[in-house]
Amino acid sequence: MIGFYEVLDRAMSGKYCPESDFEMSTLVPKIQEVVSKYGIRYDPETPVPWDDDLADRVFQAGFELYRDVGTYCPNTERIIQFTEDEIWEGLADAPSVSVFGEGKDAKPLVPRKPDSPTPPFCFVGAVGAPVSNEELYASIVEAYASFIPLADSITAPSIASINGRAVRTGSPFEVLASIRATVLGHEALRRGGRPGLPIMNSIATAGSDVAKIAGSLFGIRNSDAWCISHSCELKLGFQRLNEIATAISRGGQVLAVFAPMLGAYCGGPEGTAVVNVAYLFSSILVMRGCCLLTFPMNFKYGTTTTRDVIWAKSVSCQAMTRNSRFPVFVDHYTTAGPMTEMFFYENAADIISSVVSGGHITSPGVAKATHTDYFTPIEPRFSTEAAHAAAELTRKEANEVVKKLLDKYEADLGNPPLGKKYEECWDIHRKEPHEEYLQLYDRMKKEIEGMGAPFSAIAARRRHP
């Protein structure tokens, strides 16, 4: 594979292109061209397609898009571009298995294929949603470790205030909060009985490269991961490249993150699916990732659970997992909040569609992960059980389940219930959920199993491995 120094050289000396020209004269026309050329069509009646030829055409379109467009560096206004042979070589050389965690909590992340019965790797938690202070941060991370037996890794919250002071990106408070998050996170995992469990979103509190690098000096392990994000669409600036340089220099593992926006430059679901595949190549060649994490979002609703996004995620995940051995995580953001029926419908539809398409899961961004303290351990526990249940289904079977779930919540996406905060759902002193939420949890699992999600098979397998 081409070396990282050569990637940086191309960021400095590649083809010059003003950012607006990259977006409107290079990227958008090429998306439209390849969608038409490869005959990619969205079918709303098949939110989880099982057409292998369609998935392969989406892959071909994504390859051609990336070959001709590349990755844009806004700091230099240059395009980092690769030849066709360099892209294929990168795909062939990309890692296919990585190990995260330590001791009895260590687990390999392996590739999955569509319709695979292999349970997915479950990377669950708050997906960076804000928690109001460091005390609640420690409480929620400990609860993740103790209450979610199927969790393979943790995605931590971000700390909104430290010592009673608001955390502001780029300020010393951000640096201090990032350091505090690292220290508290691993101590909380120890108290929860799983000290080796990896925290794979490195330091969610850090918005800047300075804070992320500083925080990593206080306990981030190479068996954890560095979540590093592209900007929409297909852009990567110096801050993120600085983080990549640090991670690979210390032997850390980069989890390449991207979120193409349906309804923006990507256009509709067809273009979003194609752009999602194009990010695969940037994740390998530019970001030096050991795996990727994708979450196409609906621009209007700010969620991953709309029918068109579920289709785009499903078909593009199939495209990547059928045509590469690079592990794929799919992230999930609901509009509804904790202790609501709608959360369970949204999350189940999103999780099931991803798992049967060959994905591993990251979940859940509850209430769009934008409301402070609106998450609990119940939601990620449900995500892990839904993910393991989905491994019992084929894509065709999953399509019927997902359609039933969509019927339950689609009409409410514009006005979802916010639900209740962490302390209203979870007893932080006794370290257990309130009975009201447990009853809802059990009821919703039974209802969704009646739609075709085999939760009871998972329970039986856990009793008789």
- Centre a 10 Å sphere on the Cβ of residue 319 and count the other Cβ atoms it contains: 30
How much is the pLDDT for 458? Answer: 72
Cα dihedral 188, 421, 432, 450 in deg (nearest 10): -120
Would you call the peptide bond into 233 cis, given omega within 30 degrees of 0 as the criterion? yes
Tokens matching residue 26: 């290079």
Largest CA distance in the chain: 61
The domains of the chain, with CATH numbers, are 101-225+327-463 (3.20.20.460)
- What token pair was written down for 341? 């029926």
The per-residue pLDDT for 460 is: 59
State residue 465's pLDDT score.
46
In the predicted model, residues of the chain with pLDDT beneath 50 are 464-465
pLDDT of residue 25: 98
Phi (first) and psi of residue 200, to 5 degrees = -95, 0
Please report the beta strands in 297-443, taking only residues with DSSP state E, as ranges in sequence order.
Answer: 297-298, 328-333, 360-365, 426-427, 432-433
pLDDT of residue 461: 61
| pLDDT reported for residue 459 | 64
CB-based contacts of 20, cutoff 8 Å, min separation 6: none
pLDDT for position 457: 77
User: Under DSSP, is residue 95 helix (H, G, I), strand (E, B) or coil?
Assistant: coil
Local structure of 10: helix, strand or coil:
helix
The answer to whether 386 and 348 have CB atoms below 8 angstroms apart is yes
Residue type, 233: E
pTM listed for this prediction: 0.96
pLDDT of amino acid 430: 93
Contact 436, 373 (CB under 8 A): no
How many CB atoms within 10 Å of residue 414? 9
Q: Encoding tokens for residue 315?
A: 């078909």
Cα separations (Å) of 377 from 157, 339, 409? Answer: 12, 11, 22
- Secondary structure (3-state) at 179: helix
Q: How many helices (H) and strands (E) does the chain have?
A: 17, 20
